[in-house]
Structure 1
């Protein structure tokens, strides 16, 4: 590998030489008897002392020099050679073949090219590779482009600049001899060093950025990046299948790594080899596109009918663009609204975006990746490492609001219509989720491209085509993180499963408060113990530390994080608080001492949950299962405690402090209406940008984390999803359930209602 990479460095120098040096220009200069000397090129360049607009282009430079030597090759011919990639061979080889052969021989002796036909490859691949090599020796433009598009040895290897994506678009644009087309393959290389070579191990650590994540070449890479492997782009003839590319690359590397102390494992996945798409869009994509277009048209027409008071069905007006936009931006609070809840959602939603973004960053190549990982080893980067923590308040709030609503209905009419509650829930979440799955499965794969596009976009779509039904049954979180359609929707499954159990919980504490509270407390404690035990026994970790393995992250998700039994603790806490808010006497005020003690304890618990594990993010941290188990068991409780206390004090009128006022700001009503869509759309936006990335860049951590353009697209996509799907179906839900409730109320005898209420009170 060392010799191979060294040759690649010489290649870059030689390409520069081809542009400026004596012999190399002969390819384009025609019958120049003496050649174009470097001094002569510099003399021509020296004439460029006028305004920038008068500077020579590369074509004009060659044309100017050629004219001075009465060269028969004019500028139009040069332009045609450089820009016309439809040619199958160098049109000037017949005239200057001897000089081209000499230059090519010297060039390929110094910088051996990657041979797609090396090793055990198919006959078709070997034949096309031979044609490629033959045309490369003739300096045919299509072969040079294929050679140029393949990744080269970069600078900054010890700063983590190991992932080389080549030139994706140049490769796919190649059209050569006998129907050869450019095929872009992103190969995975796993570099290992012998234990007896500590010198190489130190270099290996720097190249792999201190092993921020440890991964194997066989790990799934579509959800969590294979940080420990090297992504290396190869542009090969289209007749070579992925196995051919893998075999030839392995054969090439083996020649250069023999007796070097390096061992390189090569893997080329079929989905990571791409050619330019020429086939028409699939029928299902056209149908889904028509469906989305129809929804947009329906919303506009309904909005016009609403605006101009044209009679229309209530079902149609539910999609009114005007009505739904006004609902989205309305600052009116609903009856019984718990004001601080909206600020809590907004804060944790923003923190969750930052945490998810920090994970998406590790998919991309960076010229300073090692420097970046040293930077994220600082204690304050707990913000991004504690991603799991920010979903717990949503689960807690779900239990709180569900219980608050259910107890209100029980107090008012004496019973719960469980079927209506389930139907209401489904009408709220299914249409929006369904729209996202349709878009990500059938539309998104065709609206972009890039080196990692198939990994982070198309592969997710393929999984959804096979397993979408699990999402609509809300059981997808039981089939493994790596096999889940849109893995970030696991929270929807958890929350829906807990909601399905909520009537039992609420009725238990409503009918028999002492027994119900005792049983639910024991269940919450059992869930906490379960998190501790599983984390310790299976050596899991909910907190991302240096050296976390990809397998450990997936095991943590599958054995703990995505299971409702492990998230019951905070949900039950929410149930208790929702019940308490309904039953707390409005006139009863806590004394200042209790309030102070409550604030002190909750702040300490929140700080412990958030900053306590900061040391686990250190670059020198060694995994300790006790630390991991303690964090997974108790951090969710500590983080939710401060939000529970603030909500309780504010809603019961025990505080009117600045913190409560901030979280109760009316503007957060809008973010609450968008929160579900924001949760759903952020990963598709992140992965779209990852898939589109074509080259390494220098990362500034704050600038990359707070990507304004990305935040704009998340917000815009969330607004569209909310206005076109979530709000219209909420309107339909309200119309249907309100009409059904009125029918039930008018048909029910008043005496029966009075007797029912008496029975509930006496119970």
Structure 2
């Protein structure tokens, strides 16, 4: 995002715009001698061997037909479909995509020729045009050519065309090897990866149906020959029944009472299933759907407010991506207007949506510490650490692999448009998919641009934190002072490393350009944003709170109302300072020292404010905040938040990739898109959870019979 925030005023680029207008003026009319001259000249040079990789004979012959005396109407349609300069060049509107559908509808039956649409990409060298240092801007130009012309043919034509117009100093291909992306024609070729993915998905779906059918059979059979036992419930004293806010009691729907009001539970003797039965029932759609929709929190370890916090944080992630992705993909035609939103107070909650990820880090550290220490208390500190790691890897990795398959082999089939093929970008996954399942993708490859499904950088960080957690958890249990000291050392180290990296690379907070400071060219996302040593503070703060909650046990902390009010006030001020603290920076009031301080402490401070929120809600001081966050409605949604995180970028990319012309950013339309993305993401997440998450969680019991670590 810093790339877009560094945009200088476009007023100084009027000359650049004028030159581009002159260069493309030939395309402002349906037919002009200049365009024809350029195409003919390009064809002549390639036919004579004027450029490397001459155009194919089929392409040359097809283009020749365009200039027959009888092809006047054909020329009108073809050049009408070409991309042309649009209004808003000074606003960065350099996506001249033309008319995709018109181009693809052009046919010449008598010659058996049909036209296809291709998007071409050029880097505009504003520095050479304005004689002042300026960032390069991508120009996308849609061209309409015969199907007989390959992408290499079109590249060669464009080389000559740009040379003929004497524009080689000002625009150049965005990629020397491939700067032309032609739309898919009739259909995408069936690849082995596509066939294999569909086969795998079909097999899993069949298992879901067979499992459900078998479960129904067992229920019917058990209903007619069930063996029941009766026992007295003497375990009614759980923390939820003691009134702990946010921890709901187990729902005993089968409870009956005797005359003395002693609860009796009718329990069906659990059947013993063979391995194949357990395997099949793990996929049973009806069973997993019942688990998903159950609003009973179940275990007393549940902290109710975390359910709402988890879903709201996910909504915040999607909101930020709703505004960021169109800019990142270069399809915004009024980019300076969108960038200007960052200078307004209200938009800071969108521009600083980065803290939503820190909320997840905080919750992860909190729950891990709280739950693990409680288990260690029951086993005298003994935890099977091998299963501890296996459990985490098993629960996360299958969904990542399925997401990668969807990105590589399913997504290309669900779109069409001028930019659709150029948005596929599956090469990175072919090369680097394995880095995701090893959870090292935040270190290799080096650049975010080369990562396979780059948004899983978060999972790499979280897994790396998880790997080192036993070295903190064990001291916290046996020698608390040592464990807390280790957390303090890690926090201090994170502050020091983050501050040093920002200072050495002269990076602005959140990638914002610092006025008067010449940046080193380091990428903020690769150096700071995705690195564990910069992102660990919220996780460590969560571990501290988890430890304190474990030590507190079921005891209720009594606080003076004035102290409660002070806690809420301080937490609110800290949280607001984190979210709105960069408002002045977007207006040009940012220093290197301020950037260092903000990057060092902001994530830590955000986690501190969340700590009070969770503590207050758990202890009964949350009021209406706890009522909202602990609402049972959030519980099913919170169970599929992981899948929603994995799938929502794909849904956004699919929508944007199907856009057939430049988008204009609008503060009124973007919220509408956000609601659509949110609903579709959670809808897809439900499918993913029933398809992968729940079945694989059930399968774990086949080789880990008792829950361990």
In the TM superposition, what is the alpha-carbon distance from 1:611 to its structure 2 partner?
Answer: 0.5
| Structure number, greater radius of gyration | 1
Find the aligned partners of 1:736 and 1:393 in 2 and give their Cα distance: 33
Match of 2:575 in 1: 606
Query: In terms of mean alpha carbon deviation, does 693-702 or 243-252 score higher?
Result: 243-252
Q: The residue matched to 2:349 in structure 1 has which SS? A: helix
Query: In terms of mean alpha carbon deviation, does 138-147 or 153-162 score higher?
Result: 138-147
Query: In terms of mean alpha carbon deviation, does 402-411 or 374-383 score higher?
Result: 374-383
Counterpart of 2:191 (choices 282, 290, 306) is 282
Match of 1:438 in 2: 405
Find the aligned partners of 1:647 and 1:239 in 2 and give their Cα distance: 64
Match of 1:185 in 2: 118
In the TM superposition, what is the alpha-carbon distance from 1:7 to its structure 2 partner?
Answer: 8.3
In the TM superposition, what is the alpha-carbon distance from 1:609 to its structure 2 partner?
Answer: 0.6
Q: Does 1:577 align with 2:486?
A: no
8 Å CA contact retained: 1:677, 1:721: yes
Find the aligned partners of 1:553 and 1:258 in 2 and give their Cα distance: 27
Match of 2:239 in 1: none
| Change in 2 beyond 3 A, CA 1:194/1:294 | closer
Query: In terms of mean alpha carbon deviation, does 176-185 or 265-274 score higher?
Result: 176-185
In structure 1, list runs of 5 or more residues that go unmatched: 16-106, 206-213, 217-227, 745-763
Counterpart of 2:340 (choices 374, 379, 383) is 374
Q: After the TM superposition, which residues 306-705 of structure 1 pair with which residues of structure 2 at under 5 Å, given as runs?
A: 306-308=215-217, 309=219, 313-335=277-299, 336-362=301-327, 363=329, 365-414=331-380, 415-457=382-424, 459=425, 461-479=426-444, 480=446, 481-545=448-512, 555-584=523-552, 586-618=555-587, 621=588, 624-651=591-618, 653-705=619-671
Match of 2:12 in 1: none
8 Å CA contact retained: 1:150, 1:166: yes
TM-score where L is the length of structure 1:
0.74
Q: Show CA shifts across 1:324-352 (max 9, x none).
A: 11211111013111111112212211111
Match of 1:750 in 2: none
8 Å CA contact retained: 1:146, 1:171: yes
8 Å CA contact retained: 1:272, 1:452: no
Find the aligned partners of 2:521 and 2:323 in 1 and give their Cα distance: 15
Counterpart of 1:230 (choices 136, 139, 151) is 139
TM-align CA RMSD: 3.3
Query: In terms of mean alpha carbon deviation, does 599-608 or 708-717 score higher?
Result: 708-717
| Change in 2 beyond 3 A, CA 1:490/1:733 | same
In the TM superposition, what is the alpha-carbon distance from 1:672 to its structure 2 partner?
Answer: 1.3
Question: Which has the larger helix fraction?
Answer: 1
Q: The residue matched to 1:702 in structure 2 has which SS? A: coil
Match of 1:154 in 2: 86
Q: The residue matched to 1:185 in structure 2 has which SS? A: strand
In the TM superposition, what is the alpha-carbon distance from 1:246 to its structure 2 partner?
Answer: 4.3
8 Å CA contact retained: 1:428, 1:730: yes
Match of 1:77 in 2: none
Q: Show CA shifts across 1:253-283 (max 9, x none).
A: 4554679xx8233335627422525674012
Q: After the TM superposition, which residues 115-134 of structure 1 pair with which residues of structure 2 at under 5 Å, given as runs?
A: 115=39, 117=43, 120-121=50-51, 122-125=53-56, 128-129=59-60, 131-134=62-65
Q: The residue matched to 1:235 in structure 2 has which SS? A: strand
Counterpart of 1:298 (choices 182, 198, 207) is 207
Q: Show CA shifts across 1:546-579 (max 9, x none).
A: 7999x98972222222222222222111111111
Q: Show CA shifts across 1:428-469 (max 9, x none).
A: 111211111111112222332333223332x1x221122211
Find the aligned partners of 1:11 and 1:470 in 2 and give their Cα distance: 46
8 Å CA contact retained: 1:609, 1:634: no
Q: The residue matched to 2:524 in structure 1 has which SS? A: helix
Match of 1:725 in 2: 692
| Change in 2 beyond 3 A, CA 1:712/1:271 | farther
Query: In terms of mean alpha carbon deviation, does 168-177 or 730-739 score higher?
Result: 168-177
In the TM superposition, what is the alpha-carbon distance from 1:113 to its structure 2 partner?
Answer: 6.5
Q: Does 1:737 align with 2:704?
A: yes
In the TM superposition, what is the alpha-carbon distance from 1:697 to its structure 2 partner?
Answer: 3.9
8 Å CA contact retained: 1:215, 1:229: no
| Change in 2 beyond 3 A, CA 1:641/1:237 | same
| Change in 2 beyond 3 A, CA 1:160/1:326 | same
| Change in 2 beyond 3 A, CA 1:131/1:304 | closer
Match of 2:236 in 1: none
Query: In terms of mean alpha carbon deviation, does 532-541 or 357-366 score higher?
Result: 357-366
